[in-house]
Chains A and B, each alone.
Chain A
Amino acid sequence: MTTASHETTPVLRLPAVAAFAATLAGGVLAAASAAMSWTWTDEFPGDLTYYGSPAGLQWLALAGGLLTALLALGARGVKGLRWLSPSGGNNGVLFAALGTLAVCWYSVAAIAVELDGLVNLDPGGWVAAVGSLLAVVGALGLPLDRRRTVKQPPVAWWWYLVAAVAAVLRVGLGQGWALNAVPPGIRPIFTENLWFFVAVPVAVLGFRLWLLLDAWLRIGRIERPLPAARALPSWAEILVITAVFALGLGVVEFGISTEYGELFIAFLLLTVFATAALLASGAIARLRELTTRHRSVTTGAAFAAAGAFPFTQSSETYVLIGANILIFATVALGLNVVVGLAGLLDLGYVAFLGVGAYAAALVSGSPFSVFRGVHLPFPVAVLIGALAALVFGVVIGAPTLRLRGDYLAIVTLGFGEIFRIAMNNLDGRSGPSLTNGPNGIAAIPDVNLFGFDFGQPHEFLGLQLGKFGNYLLLMLVATAIVVVVFGRVANSRIGRAWVAIREDETAAEAMGINGFRVKLIAFALGATLAGLAGAVQAHVAGAVSPDQYLFAGPVPPNSAFLLAAVILGGMGTISGPLVGAALLFLIPAKLQFLQSYQLLAFGVALILLMRFRPEGLIANRRQQLEFHEAELPAQGASPDDALTKAGA
């Protein structure tokens, strides 16, 4: 298949059959290695010493190897597997092989480094490494969709200069002579940040290597028309959707319950590559056809999968992580109304979460609340939390939403800080007694609905559900409410008015939209949804304190992370902020060693995202078109169109 800009050729000139055989054999070998011992000692986390029972990293090798082999067979047209690669292209095979390579080599390298030496590898480790390499070499020999041209920014010469200077400085700082050249007062800046002088040359050289690699591979994307799907009865389609979500639950569960950093990194690597592989093979496009046909089934399956999660866990630790992800995701979705639909930049959104949480905590019956005797039922407390947030939303929004542009961002940023500082000071000494200051309101009693005590473990159909499992299900209800509200409002008169205001406020006003009014509605709705989530959060956490509601901090949710979740996931979509929030919560929770560089890492990640996928991980159709129009097949490019342009 060739187009003006793309061709389908192999990178390595191998005999076609040999390439296919190598890919298949490599995939099978990598998968088979999971059943072998990778190392002789159980000192490496996960204990990879057994024959016959895969553990930790080996599961990932098994999944990657199998995916590679199956995709290779599917792309070759083997009956019964065509559904895995309906596009018929081989790029998916390459991505899967690369994912397997990344997982296997990362594991082998981690074993070698942590246990000091390759001697610690057992045959299984070698089989995994060789097998995954074989699969990649084979995949490079398959006909791949490639760009004809290499369009790349050259690395400016002064970058090499900067890298060289940094490297020399690193050596100099190590030997001491460079340190003597700087005044003693600022020496710690250098000695404490030695990594920086290594990171700069590594980044420059790494980028250069990446460019060389890309120029060699030239992997591109051809829009291949998918053959019409074989018609399935609708119960079978629903079954497929259910199976996919069950699989998705399994994947997410694996990610949440990874016990050590290596496993989580390998999990992330494989997930990214596998997603790319399934996108290229067309399997995801095919799945999307199904989910758009059965929208309500899909939503139901997604919620069922999330609801099934606590039942699959034996320990409460990961269930609490799940509940916290849900809180974060729900608030991010609320923010998406304000940012994604109405285009209002809110930098203090977490304050509305705080207002809801504090309001609910005050009437929850906590012994630390100033209204000690008041113990309202949970639904009433939630309602009060949402209403309080609504009032604050209107109070903040009414004077500022008349302005256009960046004023709102500044005011909301200020409001976020004012809220936190006010909560710190309303302790009876610096100000009126309301919040106990920095101590917050602790010991919020567990929710008790119709005699169902959320603090106690319960048993359903023989399955155990602990305290946090109860709360996860409760939070899931709140998430469902927000999802339904978002979905319905986005596609309505008021939702269209928001998008119109975001697109062109002057034109929207000229079309009869009262800009101030609809923006205030968006702001108030966003605040209310955050207040609702906050009220539930206060009960899940059992305590509220001012330091939970920062602008930026190491633990989500905070305003910066919420905004990042919306932008990372995809503005204006429902699933985007949910995915973005899950990632932004899991990555810092799992990669503890990143703690001090977390914000730096997010900055870099966001820059890379803006460069390569400005519409976010999950784009709605509009933004896909907005940012990648040139790459899509031109719509309506008819002779008629050319005439129009000539005339214009």
Chain B
Amino acid sequence: MTTDTAPVGGASAPLAEPVLEASGVVMRFGGLTAVNKVDLTVRQGEIVGLIGPNGAGKTTFFNCLTGLYVPTEGTVTYKGRVLPPRPHLVTEAGIARTFQNIRLFSNMTVLENVLVGRHTRTKEGLFSAILRGPSYRRAEQESRDRAMELLEFCGLAAKAEHLARNLPYGEQRKLEIARALASEPGLLLLDEPTAGMNPQETRAAEELVFAIRDLGIAILVIEHDMKFIFNLCDRTAVLVQGQKIVEGDRETVQNDERVVTAYLGAPLEGTTATEADQ
């Protein structure tokens, strides 16, 4: 690692508690090193961006964080606890995610999708479902209320009984976020939340992300839309060929020669960094 990873602008303010700490994460597939010694820290109340050209290893890194892959080397800790390498345990610990290509339960209703997200926060097993005692009914009702609140929060309450597959694209993205929020996470991982969105929808997504941050949930977001990233994020890390080459605020990233090279190749005469935004 060649770059100073201390967050710029955090120098004066006291640093918040770190939520997620990834240190020296390496992921090898046979001879291919997809992620190479990446360190990343996300603190309480922060929105951190992760950008990089296609194939840079962003999603692989995400999968290492969420237990879909077991990192070859390195550790990931959440609030000081080393995360077990199983997706459902990671979610239980408090990290929720969305997927790059929407992965809703498309033949379930919108409400049911969110209820599935509540799985780790509820306990009712087979027998209480069969017996349907008062405590079961109370828990089920609470789950439904909480799910409806979340749908309200994401603006989907009116469509609670629709099938997920029948929602328009933008609302499917929102539903995926609502489903992730249902697991009451402390950290939300968003994998390209605005992919395929029009400008209005992107703006709505931005507002939603800020609203989530205001709930006290830290956010790590992968994105290709630079405007979205720089509007949103307190810090941005750039991943190129599995290595983190720079991390910092907007200026640090935009003015970094290596970022420009990574996105556009070697700069020609007269090229400025801002054009790399596109």
Enumerate chain A interface residues (CB-CB to B < 8 A).
484-485, 488-489, 492-497, 499-500, 503-504, 506-515, 521, 525, 622-623, 625-626, 629, 635-636, 640-641, 643-648
A492 pairs with B129, CB closer than 8 A: yes
Q: Which residues of B contact A488 (CB under 8 A)?
A: 129-130, 132
CB pair B91 A644 closer than 8 Å: no
Contact A504-B105, Cβ < 8 Å, known A511-B179, A646-B198? yes
- A-contact 0/1 string along B197-213, CB 8 Å cutoff: 11111000000000000
Q: Give Cα distance in the complex from A513 to B143, angstroms.
A: 16
B169 touches A645 (CB 8 A): yes
A622 to B129, CA, bound (A): 22
Complex: A313 Cα to B117 Cα, angstroms: 52
Report whether B169 and A511 are in contact in the complex, using a CB–CB cutoff of 8 Å. no
Query: In the complex the two chains form, what is the Cα distance from A511 to B179 in whole Å?
Result: 8
Contact A512 B198 (CB under 8 A): no
Residue of B87, B103, B108, B118 contacting most chain A CB atoms (<10 Å): B87
Instruction: Tell me whether B88 and A515 are in contact (CB under 8 A).
Output: yes
A496/B112 in contact, CB under 8 A: yes
Name the residue of chain A whose CB is nearest to the CB of B99.
A507
A499 to B106, CA, bound (A): 10
Chain A residues contacting B68 (CB-CB under 8 Å) are 506, 509-510
Q: Is the CB of B170 within 8 A of A511?
A: no
Given contacts A495-B129, A503-B108, A510-B66, 7 further A-B contacts (CB under 8 A): A484-B130, A496-B112, A499-B107, A511-B117, A513-B116, A635-B162, A647-B170
Q: Complex Cα distance A488/B126, Å?
A: 10
List chain A residues, Cβ under 8 A from B146.
none
A485 touches B105 (CB 8 A): no
Question: Do B130 and A496 touch (CB < 8 A)?
Answer: no
Nearest CB in chain A: distance from B140 CB, A: 7
Of B68, B119, B196, most buried by chain A (CB within 10 Å of CB) is: B119
At the interface, yes or no: B122 with Cβ under 8 Å from chain A? Answer: yes
C-alpha spacing A301/B218, complex, angstroms: 54
Query: B166 contacts which of A504, A512, A635 (Cβ < 8 Å)?
Result: A635
B191 to chain A, nearest CB (A): 11
Do the beta carbons of B88 and A512 come within 8 Å of each other?
yes
How far apart sit A641 and B167, CA to CA, in the bound complex (Å)? Answer: 9
Interface size of B by Cβ–Cβ distance < 8 Å? 50
Contact of B108 with A499 in the complex, beta carbons under 8 Å: yes
B225 sits at the interface (CB 8 A):
no
Contact A513 B126 (CB under 8 A): no
Let me know if B168 and A644 touch, CB within 8 A.
yes
- Nearest chain-A residue to B180 (Cβ)? A511
Tell me which residues from 104 to 135 in chain B have a Cβ below 8 Å from any Cβ of chain A.
104-108, 112, 115-120, 122, 124-126, 129-130, 132
Distance in angstroms from B90 CB to nearest chain A CB is: 8
A623 to B107, CA, bound (A): 8
Q: Is B163 an interface residue (CB 8 A)?
A: yes
CA distance A525 to B126 in the complex (A): 9
The CA of A511 and the CA of B129, in the complex, are separated in Å by 20
Task: Give the docked Cα–Cα distance between A499 and B116 (Å).
Answer: 9
Report the minimum CB–CB distance from A492 to chain B (whole Å). 4
Q: Is the CB of B197 within 8 A of A648?
A: yes
Could you list 29 A-B pairs, sorted by A, with CB under 8 Å?
Answer: A488-B129, A492-B124, A492-B129, A493-B124, A494-B126, A496-B108, A496-B112, A499-B112, A503-B108, A504-B104, A507-B99, A508-B105, A510-B66, A512-B88, A512-B120, A513-B116, A525-B126, A622-B107, A622-B163, A625-B107, A626-B107, A629-B165, A635-B166, A640-B168, A641-B168, A644-B201, A647-B199, A648-B196, A648-B197
Inter-chain contact B197/A647, CB cutoff 8 Å: yes
Cβ of A492: which chain B residues have Cβ within 8 Å of it?
Answer: 124, 129, 140
- Given the interface pairs A500-B105, A506-B103, the reply to whether A643 lies near B183 with Cβ below 8 Å is no
Kindly list chain A residues whose C-beta atoms are within 8 Å of the C-beta of B235. Answer: none
Q: Which of A503, A635, A641 has the most CB of B within 10 A?
A: A503
B92 at the interface (CB under 8 A from A): yes
Chain A residues with CB under 8 A of B199: 647
CB distance from B186 to the nearest CB of A (A): 14
> What are the residues of chain A within 8 A of B58 when measuring CB–CB?
none
The 6 closest A-B pairs by CB, nearest first: A647-B198, A512-B120, A492-B129, A512-B91, A507-B103, A503-B105
A626 to B108, CA, bound (A): 10
Does B244 reach chain A (CB closer than 8 Å)?
A: no
B43 interface residue, CB < 8 Å from A?
no
Residue of A nearest to B198 (CB): A647
CB <8 Å contact, A511 and B126? no
A306 to B80 alpha-carbon distance, docked (Å): 61
Contact residues of B between 174 and 204, Cβ < 8 Å to A: 179-180, 183, 196-201
Q: Does B116 contact A511, Cβ atoms closer than 8 Å?
A: yes
Residues from chain B with Cβ under 8 Å of A521 in the complex: 126
**Of B124, B132, B166, B200, most A-chain CB atoms within 10 Å:** B166
**Residue of A488, A492, A497 with most partner-chain B CB within 10 A:** A492
Identity of the chain B residue whose Cβ is nearest the Cβ of A632 in the assembled complex: B166
With A510-B66, A648-B196 as known contacts, state yes or no: A489 contacts B105, CB within 8 Å. Answer: no
Contact A644 to B105, CB < 8 A, known contacts A488-B130, A521-B126, A635-B162:
no
**Chain A residues near B66 (CB-CB < 8 A):** 510
* CB-CB nearest in chain B for A625: B163
Q: Is the CB of A508 within 8 A of B116?
A: yes
CA distance A492 to B166 in the complex (A): 23
